[in-house]
Amino acid sequence: MVGFGNVGKEFVRLLVAKRAELRDRYDIDWRITGIASRRIGWIADCNSLDPEALLADQFPAFPDWRTPRNLHQWLATADPQVFFEASSLDWRSGQPAIDHLKAALEAGAHAISANKGPIVHAYRQLRDLAKAKGRKFLFESTVMDGTPIFSMFPHSLPAVELRGFRGVLNATTNVVLTEMEKGLTLAQAVKRAQEIGVAETDPSNDLDGWDATVKVAALVIVLMGVDIKLEEIERTGIRNLSPEQVRGARESGMRYKLICRAERTSNGVRASVKPEQLPLTDPLALLDGTTSAVRFDMDVFGLSIIEHKAAVIATAYGLLGDFIRAVANSS
């Protein structure tokens, strides 16, 4: 696993908590052979690392000759069957997560990502590499945490045409707008979002709409089959909304939400991310805090999905679900 922050640690806790169920229900057992991050460096032991010690930030010390110095040495030492990418998002390039995933697939591991960048910048390349290697490239955690969106379409909704979608996909901005309605300033609302663990130390990607834009691009690329670029998506964040505007909208029977949209057209897909005032009769207007939702419009029917008050464990569950899909009943 590359990336051992909140999501990575929560994922390990889930693995430990569900070990018996994984073994008894899915015939899956596991051991951790490598973790890495900017903070802890490259740690690997092909025999096993102690998950409880890792969760307590107690990392083994190896002699220099046993300490990997780079990604390829680390993969060679850890010898993984499944690789997890949970590092920080770089929406501009998707790196270094793309290189991490490529190297893992080349090494013969299934590749599972909680990082949206590789989907936007290298989806087809990674998908095709996984197919050539007889491995799986999965990324359920990248949009709406553990909600089964990407896995739902090929398995539960075969032969549908996705014509568009509309939703609230960024938890941080939803928390911020909810708190501003209660009387907080933007800075105070951001601090609240950081306290509950949904906002980064630097919340710019959320406030300026980049996180939501990357999610829109991921959905368009994977589910609609259109290679949209980030600069082709109309983007306006919530940074310039004043508390007075947000509260004024609420007092008039409307609510501001950062709305993500995509619609298939004769020329491809038109997509946007921008704050909109919604009437209280709109289901998206009723979303508070970390709750998110999306409506998919298909050629046969529409389908709405709501994820209620998600926390870090929901993202970790997305990794767990992909883990099971990758290895259950595999030879």
Residue 214 tokens read as: 């990357």
Domain regions of the chain by residue span? 6-146+313-327, 156-309
State the average pLDDT for the chain.
Answer: 95
The correct CATH number of 6-146+313-327 out of 1.10.287.610, 3.40.50.300, 3.40.50.720, 3.30.70.240 is: 3.40.50.720
Condensed to tens digits (0 to 9), the pLDDT of residues 216-226 reads 999 999 999 99
Condensed to tens digits (0 to 9), the pLDDT of residues 208-245 reads 999 999 999 999 999 999 999 999 999 999 999 999 99
Q: Give residue 331's pLDDT band: very low, low, confident or very high (50, 70, 90).
A: very low
Condensed to tens digits (0 to 9), the pLDDT of residues 9-51 reads 999 999 999 999 999 999 999 999 999 999 999 999 999 999 9
- Measured distance CA(108)–CA(110) in Å, rounded: 7
Contact, 140 vs 146, CB < 8 A? yes
3-state class of 2 per DSSP? strand
Give the phi and the psi of residue 233 in degrees, each rounded to 5.
Answer: -95, 120
- Measured distance CA(189)–CA(183) in Å, rounded: 9
User: Quick one: how far is CA 303 from the chain centroid?
Assistant: 21
- Whose structure tokens read 């050539």? 132
Q: Is the pLDDT of residue 330 over 70?
A: no
**Residue 288 class from Cβ within 10 Å (0-12 exposed, 13-18 middle, 19+ buried)?**
middle
What is the reported pLDDT for 89? Answer: 87
What is the reported pLDDT for 141? Answer: 96
Kindly report the pTM of this predicted structure: 0.94
- Measured distance CA(327)–CA(331) in Å, rounded: 8
Q: For the sheet containing 110-113, what is the strand order?
A: 82-85, 110-113, 137-138
CATH of span 156-309: 3.30.360.10
Contact, 108 vs 137, CB < 8 A? no
- Measured distance CA(58)–CA(269) in Å, rounded: 49
Within 10 Å of residue 128's Cβ, how many Cβ atoms? 11
